[in-house]
Structure 1
Amino acid sequence: MTSTAPTYPTVVPTQPPALLLDGITKTYRSKAGSVDALRGVTYHFAQGSFTAVMGPSGSGKSTLLQCAAGLDQPTTGTVVLGGTTLSGLNEVALTKLRRNEMGFVFQAYNLLPSLTVYDNVALPLRLTGRRPSRGDVHRVLDQVGLQDKAKRRPAELSGGQQQRVAIARALITRPSVFFADEPTGALDSGTSRQILSLLREATERAGQTVVMVTHDPVAAAYAERVLFLSDGLIAGHLDRGTPAQIAAAMSSLER
């Protein structure tokens, strides 16, 4: 595992990063005291990259994703997505940015049970005030192998099929950045491979950026780079690692 100090890289990227975290801290306060979930994380996610974020329980990986996606506000520091600084946006503008520039895939599929597969996929466009094109909806359904399920409802699908609908829903707006939080946590190994292949295709075919939080070394091996967190700091990274190498790196963090 390569050690990585929590500072911005000295090598300037050849193009602006899709996502930049600059000095991100996050402190949660309660009657029991303060907890520092992130303690000054600086990192750039290159355009068209697939990065898995891993770390022991409590390392800050889910907090990092929440702050990066504008779902939570960092205590200090700056998040820049596609040239837009998130801290300068009000809630309306932030919601618009999330709908247009970000895609979300979580362990919970969050599909609307009363809507068909087609309408679940079309929903993000409707929420932005755009009229969904039948061709666009069927294109992304075909991309995830579910064009023949367009008229079904979520309850009629397997868990893996529902997750593929969730990915199609995220793809429909052609977001610049995908955020995935344990997207295969509830799926069997065969279905997990299909889901992870779809995420990798988003970077290879469409140049989209994927940031995925996972605890699974097999899932992380689909990413180009695994970014390791420990105690709210970047502890290192591993490029093109095998599941065994990733598991070994995780073990060293948990000692």
Structure 2
Amino acid sequence: MTRPLTEPAPTSVHHSAVAVTLDGISHTYKSRAGHVPALRGVTHTFVRGTFTAVMGPSGSGKSTLLQVAAGLDRPTQGEVRLGDVALGGLSQTQLTKLRRTSMAFVFQAYNLLDALTAFENVALPARLAGRRVDKAAVREALRQVGLEEKTKRRPPELSGGQQQRVAIARALHLQPEVLFADEPTGALDRSSGRRVLELLREASDVRGQTVVMVTHDPLAASYAHSTLFLEDGQIVGRLERADATQIAATMSELER
């Protein structure tokens, strides 16, 4: 497909061993009470092929960090890079194209279209990106999440756990560089939530994708390779390969 000369394709994101870089990121929201800082000079690198959980008390800046890292919200100060590409230098059109080819998103709200089947929901990002739908790849993505028998079901015919797995299949099937997840297990029962977390870990361990997940649940965070802790818009701690008890203890210290 020919690209308009005014909107060149962003530079390839494959050249760096670092998937996402946050360099001195600050972000301030405007409210009736004035300017509210959500992030304060955050610097961090997410290495390619790792699974990172982001935790912190309510209002600590977790979701803002995810939104800024994904280019969904521009920082007030600092620079975000996806691989070697600086997001601040891209137009909204270029950002949209980059997100469709190099990023995927999983949210607590499944964001599926009720009028489409599971198969059609998984194929939707390829259609939006103007790419040919690889039917075998869509079926394989649904097989990976255990829904190969549900391809013709629509979201209202599926359980909450099944709908979230469709959302993950949709996120995985184009093999994005980075997968961002915001409370992906928040609305699920323990069994369904565990399967979703296993799938996110597999995306990192087996397929080499980078996963960044915001969660409030220490058990969910224990599936990640590392856990970042935010407080008042700043990174205040990090645990590597910690279990749920260690993560919960650190959270308790922050919430005192």
For the residue of structure 2 that corresponds to 1:206, the secondary structure is coil
Per-residue deviation, 1:133: 1.3
Mapped to 2, the partners of 1:70 and 1:97 lie a distance apart of 9
Mapped to 2, the partners of 1:165 and 1:236 lie a distance apart of 33
Per-residue deviation, 1:82: 1.7
Matched residue type, 1:190: S
Corresponding residue number in structure 1 for 2:108? 107
Corresponding residue number in structure 1 for 2:22? 21
Corresponding residue number in structure 1 for 2:129? 128
Per-residue deviation, 1:244: 0.8
Corresponding residue number in structure 1 for 2:11? none
Instruction: State which drifts further: 29-38 or 109-118.
Output: 29-38
Aligned length: 241
Matching of residue 96 in structure 1 with residue 97 in structure 2:
yes
Cα deviations across residues 93-141 of structure 1 (Å, max 9, x unaligned)? 0000001000100000000000011100000000111111111111111
The answer to whether the Cα contact below 8 Å between 1:125 and 1:172 also exists between their aligned partners in 2 is no
Matching of residue 38 in structure 1 with residue 20 in structure 2:
no
Matched residue type, 2:254: L
The list of structure 1 runs, each at least 4 consecutive aligned residues, that deviate by more than 6 angstroms after superposition, is none
Corresponding residue number in structure 1 for 2:219? 218
Corresponding residue number in structure 2 for 1:232? 233
Matched residue type, 1:246: I
Mapped to 2, the partners of 1:200 and 1:109 lie a distance apart of 19
TM-score, normalising length from structure 1?
0.93
Corresponding residue number in structure 2 for 1:137? 138
For the residue of structure 1 that corresponds to 2:57, the secondary structure is coil
Mapped to 2, the partners of 1:217 and 1:31 lie a distance apart of 34
Q: Give structure 1 stretches of 5+ with no counterpart.
A: 1-14
Cα deviations across residues 204-223 of structure 1 (Å, max 9, x unaligned)? 11000000000000000000
Per-residue deviation, 1:16: 2.9
Per-residue deviation, 1:69: 0.5
Per-residue deviation, 1:30: 2.4
Mapped to 1, the partners of 2:134 and 2:62 lie a distance apart of 36
Corresponding residue number in structure 2 for 1:243? 244
Matched residue type, 2:218: P
Mapped to 2, the partners of 1:31 and 1:119 lie a distance apart of 42
CA RMSD for the aligned pairs? Answer: 0.7
Mapped to 2, the partners of 1:228 and 1:247 lie a distance apart of 11
Matching of residue 77 in structure 1 with residue 78 in structure 2:
yes
Matched residue type, 1:173: L
Mapped to 2, the partners of 1:187 and 1:16 lie a distance apart of 34
Matched residue type, 1:142: R
Mapped to 1, the partners of 2:32 and 2:159 lie a distance apart of 43
Matched residue type, 1:89: L
Q: Give structure 2 stretches of 5+ with no counterpart.
A: 1-15
Matched residue type, 1:35: V
Corresponding residue number in structure 1 for 2:48? 47
For the residue of structure 1 that corresponds to 2:18, the secondary structure is coil
The answer to whether the Cα contact below 8 Å between 1:124 and 1:172 also exists between their aligned partners in 2 is no
